[in-house]
Structure 1
Amino acid sequence: MLRLENVSKRFDGFYLDNISFELKEGFIMGLIGPNGSGKTTLIKIIMNLLNQDEGNIYFMGENVKNNPMRFKENIGFVYDNLYFYENLNVSDFEKIVASFYKNFDNKKFKEYLDKFQISKKTKIKNLSKGQSIKLMLAKALSHSAKLLILDEPTSGLDPIFRKDMIKLIQEELESGDKSAIFSTHITQDLEHMADYITFINKGKLVFSESKEFIDENYKIIRSSKEMLDNTNIDFIKRKDERYFSEGIFIESGYKNSDNISKATLEDILYYMGGETIND
C-alpha cells in the first residue's frame, strides 16, 4: 500500500537520511524513536506537508507526486491535538472538513459522534483532550480513507481510552483493505497491535522489522560484568552498572532463561535510543 524509497530531508542541524520501508494492506506499523528523532518530519513528508529533498513515496503503486489529491483523499490523519477554530462547534467542524473530502459520509460521522458521546452543539474549545482525539478519529474514519496516520494520538490520555482507541483501530483494519501508521513514544500501545515496527533515531533508520521478528530475536541479558566480558555476544548496546551489567543483542539461538529475556519495545527504545546501530 505505502512504500518509501530513500526519503531524505535536510534542515539546519538535522538530516532525515535515506528512510525506506514498506507497509502492506491490512497491517499496522508502529513508528518509534526518541524525541527529535525525525518521526514527525517523516510523517509531514508522507502527508505531503513537506517536500523531501530526495527519494520517492508510492501509494497503491503510484508515485504520490503524480497524484497528490488522490493520496490526500485516502489518508485519515489524527494529531495529538485538535488545531481548529475554538469558537466553532462540532457541527461547524463537520461542514468544513466534509468540504475537503468527496467521499465524506455524514451518516457515518454522526454514528461515531454518538459512539463517542460528542454533541454537535459542543464548541471546540469546550472539548476535553480525549474528546478532541475522538473527534479527529471520527473525521478520519468517515471518508473511506485507506491509510490512517496517527501521530502521538494517545499521549496524555488515560489507559482506558487508549485501549478503547486501539481496539477501534484494530476493528477498522479487520477488513484487510486499510492500513495504519501509529507514531508514539508509548511503546506499550504497540506491543499487541503493531504488525511492524519502524525505529528512527537521529534521522536514521535503525530498523524496519516485523513485530514477530523483534519478539523472537531481540534479547536482553543481565549478569555480572565479568560474565558479559567473557561471552561471545555481539552487543548492540551494553550498559555497565556498579553491581551488574546489561546488554541488548540480536540472536535467535538464545532462549529465555534466568538472565536472558525477550527485549520489549521499551527496552529497545531505552538501549538503542542514544545511538544508531551504525554509529
Structure 2
Amino acid sequence: MIRLENISKSRGNFKLENISFELKEGYIMGLIGPNGSGKTTLIKLLLGLIKSDEGEIKIFNKDIFKEEVYVKDNIGFVFDNFNFYEHLNIKDYKRILKNSYSKFDEKLFDSYIESFGIKNKSYIGNLSKGEAIKVMLAGALSHDAKLIILDEPTAGLDPIVRKEILKLLQEVIEDGSKSIIISTHITSDLDGIADYITFINKGKLVFTEDMEWIRERFRLFRGSKEELENSNLNFISIKKNKYYEEGLFINRKDFASENISTPTLEDIMYHYIKGEK
C-alpha cells in the first residue's frame, strides 16, 4: 500500500531526514510527534503536494508523480481546517467531489451526511468544527479511496464526536482493502485503534513499529530517586515530579517490581522529548 525509503526534505531551517516505513492494506497507522517534528511535511509528501529531496515514495506500488492521477483518485484526505470551502454549501462541495473523483458515489455521500445529521443546504462556514470534519470525512469515504490520510482530525472536538469518528474509521478498514494514516497530537485516540505507530521528532524517525511491539518493549518505573537509582535499570529518560520520579526503560523479563507499569503513547512520547537523560 505505502512504502517510503530514506525520504529527506529540507524546508528553510528544518529537515525531514531519512524517513522509512511501510503500511499494508487493512491497517491504521498513527503518526505522532510534537509540533514542528515534520508530521505535516510528511503528509504533504504523501499527498504529492511537495517533492522529496531524496528517497522514494510508492503508494499502491506506483510512483506518486508518474502515476499522479491514479494515486490521487484513490486517496481520501481530511485536514483540521476547512476554511477554503467555507463559502460553499454541502451540495456545492459534493459537486466538486463528483468532478474530482472517478468513482465518487453521491448516494453514499448523502447517506453519510444524513447519518451525521447535517443538512445539504448548510454552508460549510456555518458548521461547527465537528460537523465540518464529518463533511470532509464523508467526502473522503465516498469515492472508494484505498488510502485515507487524516491530519489532526479530532483536534478540538468533544469526546463524543471524537469517538464517533474513530469508530467509523475502524469500520472502514474491516474488509481489509483500505488503510488509514492519522496524524494527531491526541495520542490517546490511537491507543485503541492504531495497528502501527510512526514516531518522528525533530525531523528524524524515532521508531515505526506495531502496537504489540510498543506495548511489549517499554515500561515505566515509578518511585523515589533512591528507588530508581537502586533498580540498576538503564533508563531512556527520567521525569522528575515533586513526590516521585518516573523512568522509561526497555522491558526486561528478568526484572519484576510493583513499581512497574505499562506506559501510554503519551508517556513514551513525553519521555523521548522532554525527559532527562
Matched residue, 2:37: 37
Structure 1 position 241, deviation (Å): 4.3
Q: Which amino acid in the other structure matches residue 153 of structure 2?
A: P
Q: Name the SS for the 1:155 alignment partner.
A: coil
More moved, 237-246 vs 114-123: 237-246
CA contact (8 A) 1:152 1:182 kept: yes
Distance in 1 (CA, whole Å) between partners of 2:274 and 2:203 is 12
Distance in 2 (CA, whole Å) between partners of 1:213 and 1:185 is 21
Distance in 2 (CA, whole Å) between partners of 1:178 and 1:28 is 9
Cα 1:53–1:226, aligned 2, differ >3 Å: closer, same or farther? same
Structure 1 position 62, deviation (Å): 2.2
Cα 1:268–1:29, aligned 2, differ >3 Å: closer, same or farther? same
Matched residue, 1:102: 102
Q: Which amino acid in the other structure matches residue 64 of structure 1?
A: I
Structure 1 position 240, deviation (Å): 3.8
Matched residue, 1:86: 86
Task: Calculate the aligned-residue CA RMSD, in Å.
Answer: 1.8
Q: Which amino acid in the other structure matches residue 34 of structure 1?
A: P
Matched residue, 2:161: 161
Q: Name the SS for the 1:199 alignment partner.
A: strand
CA contact (8 A) 1:84 1:124 kept: no
Structure 1 position 227, deviation (Å): 2.7
Distance in 2 (CA, whole Å) between partners of 1:266 and 1:203 is 19
> Aligned ranges for residues 1-279 of structure 1 at < 5 Å?
1-241=1-241, 243-253=243-253, 257-274=257-274
**TM-score normalised to the size of structure 1?**
0.94
Cα 1:89–1:243, aligned 2, differ >3 Å: closer, same or farther? closer
**TM-score normalised to the size of structure 2?**
0.95
CA contact (8 A) 1:216 1:252 kept: no
Structure 1 position 125, deviation (Å): 1.4
Structure 1 position 200, deviation (Å): 0.6
Structure 1 position 12, deviation (Å): 1.9
Say how many residue pairs are matched: 277
Calculate percent identity across the aligned residue pairs: 56
Q: Which amino acid in the other structure matches residue 119 of structure 1?
A: K
Distance in 2 (CA, whole Å) between partners of 1:273 and 1:172 is 33
Distance in 1 (CA, whole Å) between partners of 2:217 and 2:211 is 10
